[in-house]
Amino acid sequence: MKFTSTAHHEKATSRIGLWLGIAFLVCFVTGLVSHAIQHPPSWFFWPSRPVNLYRVTQGLHVVSGVAAIPLLLAKLWSVYPKLFERPLIKSLPHALERGSILVLSGAAFFELVTGILNVGQNYLWSFYFPDAHYAVAWVAVGSILVHIGVKLPIIRRALQRDPLPDASRRAFLRTTWLASGAAVVATAGVTVPFLRDVSVLAWRSNKAPQGVPVNRTAVAAGVVRDPSWTLDVAGKRFTLAELTAMRQTTADLPIACVEGWSQSASWTGVPVVDLLAAAGAGPGVSVKVHSMEQNGLYRTSVLPGAHTRDPLTLLALRCNGEVLDLDHGYPCRIIAPNRPGVLQTKWVNRLEVL
Ligand SMILES: Nc1nc2c(c(=O)[nH]1)N[C@H]1C(S)=C(S)[C@@H](COP(=O)(O)O)O[C@H]1N2
Ligand SMILES: [Mo]
């Protein structure tokens, strides 16, 4: 078989590969950060400031993943004639290279597809998404490194020679950049406020209670309003009236969901540091937050010392000037700066000092 299309050229392939590599690197690093915050190893430290840092890293994760999809398709398109090359295996490095491409394409495809479905909240699978997405990320990165190692001489040569000489090759690359840019613009509005109206595929909107999207509703979580509710802080009980009578703090803080959307809101409530002091616990302790929710993966979270010390870590009673909607965690929820949304526990009834 003979392929003449200019897309099938090492120069175009290397250019796209370079951008794909950058997109994957950004995606991988931001994914690692997110994973470490949710499953912190003992050496890991994540600060509580700047308040929007996690929002930015998670936004980069989604944007680089979305940008990678057209790049991956273009890359596969530009190299597929290689699949028809014979003999199938020429030498050990060649076999390694072939094998790594197979693993690489499979892993990259898996990551992008599961990522996109996760962002769309379409869980079509029975495995637990974060574990699989995390494990396969290492496979993808490992095979990328092998691939780059094996191809380094070609990559060098291809990226060094003079600018792309031929018009149709340039057009192929331009189409790839455009597709990638369009994919980003169409989706980035879920997390970049000024793109919200431009992003036709942005799957979250402002049609939500108090202008903030809801991830898990009270009905889904099996939570109802309970007039006898009290909050237990290190063994000391607080009624809602007592909480409302304490000094309140109002702050603009984002919810940055690991599922890709993020949104800022104005939250009002009692700083956790004040509550701990009122219950006789020192600042800087780790606190386990418990929810009224009976089942569900996200019914508890742990606030590390950096967060319990920060006066912006709130037990929020109000959102955007109104009493917290039941779907946003009434009677109270945690809103802490620079954290994944999944750790912003709703329907809180107990703060346990660890
Ligand atoms: N108790 C409880 N709190 C929870 C959750 C949950 O399932 N149960 N979901 C979390 C997730 S994944 C996110 S992104 C935020 C979303 O908050 P919102 O629904 O008020 O926007 O709540 C978090 N708090
Ligand atoms: Mo979330």
In this predicted model, what pLDDT tens digit does every residue of 264-300 receive, in sequence order?
Answer: 999 999 999 999 999 999 889 999 999 999 999 999 9
Alpha helices in the chain (DSSP H): 10-38, 53-79, 92-119, 129-160, 167-187, 218-221, 240-245, 272-278, 305-308
The rounded Å distance from CA 23 to ligand 1 centre is 28
**DSSP line for 268-284:** EEEEHHHHHHHTTPPTT
Q: Give the C-alpha separation, 268 to 177, whole Å.
A: 43
Residues 6+ apart with CB under 8 A from 21: 144, 148
Q: Give the C-alpha separation, 266 to 328, whole Å.
A: 13
Rg (CA), the chain: 24
The pLDDT of 10-23, averaged and rounded, is: 89
End-to-end CA distance of the chain: 67
The pLDDT of 5-17, averaged and rounded, is: 77
Q: Give the C-alpha separation, 195 to 5, whole Å.
A: 36
Cα 213 to chain centroid distance, Å, stands at 16
- Indicate the burial class of 127 (C-beta count within 10 angstroms; 0-12, 13-18, 19 or more): exposed
Q: Give the atom of ligand 1 at the shortest distance from the alpha carbon of 341.
A: 14
The pLDDT of 325-340, averaged and rounded, is: 97
- Indicate the burial class of 116 (C-beta count within 10 angstroms; 0-12, 13-18, 19 or more): middle
Q: Give the C-alpha separation, 20 to 10, whole Å.
A: 15
Helix (H, G, I), strand (E, B) or coil at 210: helix
Q: Give the C-alpha separation, 189 to 185, whole Å.
A: 7
pTM of the model as a whole: 0.91
CATH architecture label of 209-353: Alpha-Beta Complex (3.90)
What tens digit of pLDDT does each residue of 55-99 get? 999 999 999 999 999 999 998 888 788 777 778 788 887 888 788
Residues of the chain with CATH 3.90.420.10: 209-353
Q: Give the C-alpha separation, 150 to 147, whole Å.
A: 5
The pLDDT of 8-26, averaged and rounded, is: 88
Query: Is residue 326 scored above 90 in pLDDT?
Result: yes
Q: What are phi and psi of 301, to 5 degrees?
A: -155, 165
The residue with tokens 């606030």 is 303
Which mutation among 288, 342, 343, 350 tests ligand 1's pocket best, with the greatest number of atoms within 8 A of CB? 342
What tens digit of pLDDT does each residue of 93-129 get? 788 878 888 899 999 999 998 888 887 765 666 678 8
Q: Which two tokens stand for residue 290?
A: 């418990």
More confident residue, 320 or 158: 320
- Split at pLDDT 50, 70, 90, the class of 7 is low
**Using an 8 Å Cβ cutoff, are 306 and 48 in contact?**
yes
**Using an 8 Å Cβ cutoff, are 320 and 265 in contact?**
yes
Which residue lies with its CA nearest to atom 12 of ligand 1? 342
What tens digit of pLDDT does each residue of 221-244 get? 999 999 999 999 999 999 999 999
Note the pLDDT of residue 1. 44
Q: Which two tokens stand for residue 166?
A: 């031929």
Note the pLDDT of residue 258. 86
Query: Is residue 165 scored above 80 in pLDDT?
Result: no
Which mutation among 191, 216, 257 tests ligand 1's pocket best, with the greatest number of atoms within 8 A of CB? 216
Note the pLDDT of residue 6. 58
Query: Is residue 203 scored above 70 in pLDDT?
Result: no
Closest CA to 208 of 35, 327, 60: 327
Q: Give the C-alpha separation, 131 to 138, whole Å.
A: 11
Which residue lies with its CA nearest to atom 4 of ligand 1? 345
The rounded Å distance from CA 224 to ligand 2 centre is 21
